Structure 1
Amino acid sequence: MNHPMIRFDKVSKRYGDNIVLDSLDLDIAQGEKVSIIGPSGSGKTTVLRMLMTLEDIDDGVIWVGGEPLTHMHQGDSLVPASPAHIREVRSNIGMVFQSFNLFPHMTAMQNCIEAPIGALGMSRAEAETRAAELLDMVGLSEKKGHYPAHLSGGQQQRVAIARALAMRPKIMLFDEVTSALDPELVGEVLEVIRNIGREHDLTMLMVTHQMGFAREFSDRVCFFYGGRICEQGPPRQLLDSPQQERTQQFLHAVLEAG
């Protein structure tokens, strides 16, 4: 039986009276590339933060690779997951944030080897070899010894991508990874993500406001509104011929602003 790589099964998240996610059902297949779009406050980033267990869920179950992430099996029942269970399932997931979140006191190389050595038990030699390959892949082979303060925003974001890939994830999450960048640096980061999509068999989930990139890169686009998926479909269908009025309004506003 083929399980979806990611499944949100009636997942809800509330802050007091504010419903951030409203009984979300979402399946993402292995190797699928999905872009999430929508206005601020629609629940987009919350989806990614829940997958990284940076946010607790209030209802429902999140599954990763056929295993519950937020829960674990106890006999025939599902009970809230232990920290050890969460760590094990979450080890399949890498995330790149809007802000680069690099360790400022570590070089690009050190940023990329810290977690593989500490969390995966990788030898330093193996971790350094892997990090060097990844930094080369993101076009930063000559910047291995540089500290974040000496790198441009685009270079820092590319180090952050290499650092996430160093953990050998099966799933990569990207949260508005170009929104903190100067416009001329956006292209270099998107090109790296394109290459990752071509060269690695990864399931990729991206929150983005880059509609052109979502159209070109994604297998599916999901438009979130009010904590729910208002509309979803292949990029050309959803972006060129949206069926829902709210989707039409959002895309019109985004394209006008662009």
Structure 2
Amino acid sequence: MSRYPLELTGDDTPMVRFMNVTKRYGELTVLDHLDLDVAEGEMVTIIGPSGSGKTTVLRMLMTLETINEGVIYVDGKPLTHMEKNGALVPASPKYLRRMRSQIGMCFQHFNLFPHMTALGNCMEGPVQVLGMPKAEARARSEELLELVGMADKMDQHPSRLSGGQQQRVAIARALAMRPKVMLFDEVTSALDPEVIGEVTNVIRDLVDAHNLTMLMVTHQMGFAKDISDRVCFFYDGAIEEQGAPEDLFGNPQRERTQQFLSAVKEAD
């Protein structure tokens, strides 16, 4: 691992860096020597056909998947590896847990604790993982539930909430951990069309109000165009094309990008 730096330094250090990252499942290469930087405060959306590797990017950042080659860095420090005797070695479970606490993720399925209220769901991580005093965790959770428009539902259990409401609680729960990076994986795809707007509005508000670094995988091209600083089109385990939303959606340069966007437009 000597060709990879032990730490990234300098004023232009990205919040997230994938450096030559490869992920394989047996003979299948899902990500092929991926290089991707995400600046602090940047909102990057990943689009592409099924099997292109886009969700794998998020799963590797959440350390739900190991990588076969390369290194991922978060805020200048290696995520997938750690320093030992002046070299990078695969990260230990303890190191991974510490680094993972900087990253929040909202999944397609909300994964709320069914036996806890909305407030309890938000408080659990800060108290159990961060060791935050309960009073502080409660105050922060109440503030975040208000931010996502769920202040009047904080004493309700998930079974009493709609899908859109559950997803908004899931966003608040992830934010309660004070992450430096937020990941959104198809957060609207399990929702009814009439409640998609309430979740996308919450994400818009987060983009406007907080300097969070965000990566989002979505199949909603209009939302991606509206909210992103940059859009990356993945194809066959690599970035086929990337750019500002107005450029990528308005004037795609690569034939595969053109074909994908045309197919998505026809499906809509």
* TM norm. shorter chain > 0.5: yes
Q: Which residue of structure 1 lines up, in the alignment, with residue 160 of structure 2?
A: 150
Q: Which residue of structure 2 lines up, in the alignment, with residue 75 of structure 1?
A: 85
Match of residue 113, structure 2, among 93, 103, 106: 103
SS of aligned partner of 1:10: strand
How far is 1:91 from its partner? 1.1
1:177 equivalent to 2:187? Answer yes
Q: In 2, distance between residues paired with 1:251 and 1:168?
A: 35
1:9 equivalent to 2:19? Answer yes
Q: In 2, distance between residues paired with 1:105 and 1:84?
A: 28
How far is 1:74 from its partner? 1.7
- In structure 2, what residue type is equivalent to 1:28? V
Give 1:1-258 correspondences, 5 Å limit.
1-2=10-11, 3-258=13-268
How far is 1:199 from its partner? 1.0
How far is 1:93 from its partner? 0.5
Q: In 1, distance between residues paired with 2:202 and 2:112?
A: 18
Q: In 2, distance between residues paired with 1:111 and 1:89?
A: 21
SS of aligned partner of 2:115: coil
Q: In 2, distance between residues paired with 1:78 and 1:240?
A: 42
Q: Report Cα offsets for 1:65-122 as digits up to 9, x if no partner.
A: 0000000112331111111211222111100000000011111000000010001111
- In structure 1, what residue type is equivalent to 2:55? T
Give 5+ residue unaligned stretches, structure 1.
none
- In structure 1, what residue type is equivalent to 2:149? G
What's the % identity of the aligned pairs? 67
List, as ranges, runs of 4+ consecutive aligned residues in structure 1 with deviation greater than 6 Å: none
Number of positions where the alignment pairs a residue of Structure 1 with one of Structure 2: 258
Superposition CA RMSD, Å: 0.7
Q: In 2, distance between residues paired with 1:181 and 1:216?
A: 19
- In structure 1, what residue type is equivalent to 2:66? D
Give 5+ residue unaligned stretches, structure 2.
1-9
- In structure 2, what residue type is equivalent to 1:193? I
Q: In 2, distance between residues paired with 1:256 and 1:20?
A: 27
Q: Report Cα offsets for 1:203-252 as digits up to 9, x if no partner.
A: 00000111111111111000000000000000010011101100000000
Q: In 1, distance between residues paired with 2:79 and 2:110?
A: 25
